Amino acid sequence: MKRLAEFHLSEQARIVSDQIPGKRSKELLRLQEEIEGAVVSYPKSIPIAISHAKGAIIEDVDGNRFIDFFACAGVVNVGHCNEEVLEEVTRQQKQLIHALDFPTETKMTAITNILNNLPASQRDEFKVSFGGPTGSDAVEAAIKLAKLKTGRESVIAFTGGYHGMTSTALALTSNTAFRDRLQNLAANIHFIPYSYCYRCSFGQHKETCKMECARYLKNILEDSHAGIPKPAAIILEPIQGEGGNIVPKEGYLTQLIRIAHAHGVLVIFDEVQCGFFRSGEFLACMREDALPDIITFSKGFGGVGFPISGLIYRKSVEAWGPGAHIGTFRGNQVSLAACNGAMDFIRRYDIKSHVKEMSTYLLNELEALMLDCDYIGEVRGEGLMIGIEFVKDRDTKEPYPEFVKQMRDECLQRGLIFEVGGHFDNVIRFVPPLIITKKIAAAAMGIFRQSLNVTLADTTIAT
Ligand code: PMP
């Protein structure tokens, strides 16, 4: 076995350009602006052109190296171009690439691997189904299955939730800015508050609350005057990603399942981002042992970035027959081989324990920073899904997105990349590859601390 350090290009950042973006990056960004559609988004906030990447280090076309605390939106969980996973990929590519939904050894191994990662007492109750290659495809399929099973149309989603950009997935996504100009997406979708304890919709405190957020669902389902037709399902992320890496109160998921089931409503957990060991568990809902009826998966399941998505669902929910949800690209063989390779890697290197160790280290470091920076309102996270929420004032909790934007730019100049999210664009989201070493984590924290001091000293940011 190798050391995890050997799966990275290096263990620290290296900035060689006078400024980021460097000269060649600028040229490619300019060309992109000219010839690629205006929907390009990530380079608008992280303006670099990438040459290659290994592990948690990305090298741009100017030779600058960045520590990647973004992991391509939580995809490359076992690191960019993980060599041991790529061996599986190469073997598969020479053997078979596309096979529609015919059974293959590779696919059956992937399904078995997925099921074997569920709690032993429950795994026999579940099946796996593959859909189109994106997370949005999985969400579309999950809702379709729930509607077919129940014969109902309405769905309950949650504030702060993100589920994708296709029609139904977008309608389930809470950020209205994404759909302001689009009418007639999926109908009959209703939003209720998520367990976002830092900004509790019910004015409660985490330590003393009676989980009013979960009880709200109960009220809705029991009250014929709630204005919501009995739903086919509720859909939520067990840990919200784009919403600001929000970990719900312990017990919330279990409560929701209990309430929904008491009313014959199906529960869908969207594990597209928080799944595949990101939380330290195979699925984030497993930290509560709370398995729902349908689970969506994608992102990390493609091993090193190969597209794949699908559903893990209870056999009791089966409600469609052959061809009811067909599609050309379902369960691509190379993606499946990469999934198997990544699963083996995670087992071999005990990445679950590693995630917990790195998580503790980063959370401790970040909490220590709260002593020096009053603008950090909350540090939260589970595994390597960590949110740092910035506010202008800890009492009023007024969001401070300007500070976060400046932090992102300062960190980029020093070689640390991350995504920003949250209800008010005021949350720094750490979502690194799960294989970061202590040295890489420390280097990232060094850059973060330095950038924080510079940003704190900058009197031009509006408060
Ligand atoms: N669900 C969740 C929780 C996600 O985070 C995302 C992507 N960020 C999606 C669904 C949509 O996945 P995709 O972008 O692959 O369609």
Indicate whether 343 and 355 sit together in one domain: no
Indicate whether 227 and 279 sit together in one domain: yes
Q: Contact, 290 vs 122, CB < 8 A?
A: no
Q: Is residue 181 part of a domain?
A: yes
pLDDT given at position 330: 92
Q: Is residue 121 part of a domain?
A: yes
Indicate whether 173 and 322 sit together in one domain: yes
| β-pairing verdict for 310-314 and 294-297 | antiparallel
Q: What is the 3-state secondary structure (H, E, C) of 357-376?
A: HHHHHHHHHHHHHCCCCCCE
Examine the fold and report which residue of 304, 322, 348 is the final residue of a domain before the chain moves on.
348
Indicate whether 323 and 192 sit together in one domain: yes
Q: Is residue 463 part of a domain?
A: no
Indicate whether 105 and 239 sit together in one domain: yes
Tell me, using a 6 A CB cutoff, whether residue 142 lines ligand 1.
no
- The number of the ligand 1 atom at minimal distance from the alpha carbon of 241 is 5
Q: Is residue 188 part of a domain?
A: yes
pLDDT given at position 459: 78
Indicate whether 50 and 32 sit together in one domain: yes
Indicate whether 229 and 104 sit together in one domain: yes
Q: Which domain holds residue 286?
A: 83-348
Distance, in Å, from the CA atom of 67 to the CA atom of 10, rounded to the nearest integer, reads 9
Mean pLDDT of the chain: 97
pLDDT given at position 153: 96
Q: How far is CA 129 from CA 104, 105, 141, 319, 326, in A?
A: 14, 16, 10, 12, 11
Q: Is residue 243 part of a domain?
A: yes
Exposure of 328 by Cβ count < 10 A (0-12 exposed, 13-18 middle, 19+ buried)?
Answer: exposed
Domain at 108, CATH number? 3.40.640.10
Indicate whether 170 and 226 sit together in one domain: yes
Q: Is residue 462 part of a domain?
A: no
In tens, the pLDDT along 337-378 reads 999 999 999 999 999 999 999 999 999 999 999 999 999 999
Has this prediction a pTM greater than 0.95? yes
Indicate whether 344 and 355 sit together in one domain: no
Indicate whether 68 and 88 sit together in one domain: no
Distance, in Å, from the CA atom of 436 to the CA atom of 68, rounded to the nearest integer, reads 9
Examine the fold and report which residue of 327, 348, 369 is the final residue of a domain before the chain moves on.
348
Q: Contact, 83 vs 95, CB < 8 A?
A: no
Tell me, using a 6 A CB cutoff, whether residue 273 lines ligand 1.
yes
Closest by Cα among 357, 349, 362, 347 to 431: 362
Return the residue matching tokens 């290994």.
54
Tell me, using a 6 A CB cutoff, whether residue 162 lines ligand 1.
yes
Return the residue matching tokens 């993606």.
335
The mean per-residue pLDDT over the stretch 142-161 comes to 98
Q: Is the pLDDT of residue 266 over 90?
A: yes
Pocket test for ligand 1, best of 268, 299, 431 (most atoms within 8 A of CB): 299
Joined together, the tokens standing for residue 415 give 């070689």
Indicate whether 293 and 363 sit together in one domain: no
Residue whose CA is at the smallest distance from ligand 1 atom 5: 273
CA of residue 145 to ligand 1 center, whole Å: 18
Q: Is residue 67 part of a domain?
A: yes
Indicate whether 260 and 146 sit together in one domain: yes
Return the residue matching tokens 């399942």.
257
Examine the fold and report which residue of 348, 367, 383 is the final residue of a domain before the chain moves on.
348
Query: Residues near 432 by Cβ (< 8 Å), separated by ≥ 6?
Result: 56, 67, 68, 69, 70, 71, 358, 384, 440, 441, 444
In tens, the pLDDT along 31-90 reads 999 999 999 999 999 999 999 999 999 999 999 999 999 999 999 999 999 999 999 999
User: What one-letter code names the amino acid at 251?
Assistant: G
Domain at 385, CATH number? 3.90.1150.10
Q: Contact, 445 vs 365, CB < 8 A?
A: yes
pLDDT given at position 460: 84
Pocket test for ligand 1, best of 76, 130, 165, 273 (most atoms within 8 A of CB): 273
CA of residue 387 to ligand 1 center, whole Å: 18
Residue whose CA is at the smallest distance from ligand 1 atom 13: 135
Q: How many domains does the chain have?
A: 2
Return the SS3 of 334: helix
Q: Is the pLDDT of residue 292 over 90?
A: yes
In tens, the pLDDT along 117-135 reads 999 999 999 999 999 999 9
Tell me, using a 6 A CB cutoff, whether residue 164 lines ligand 1.
yes
Total number of residues shown for the chain = 463
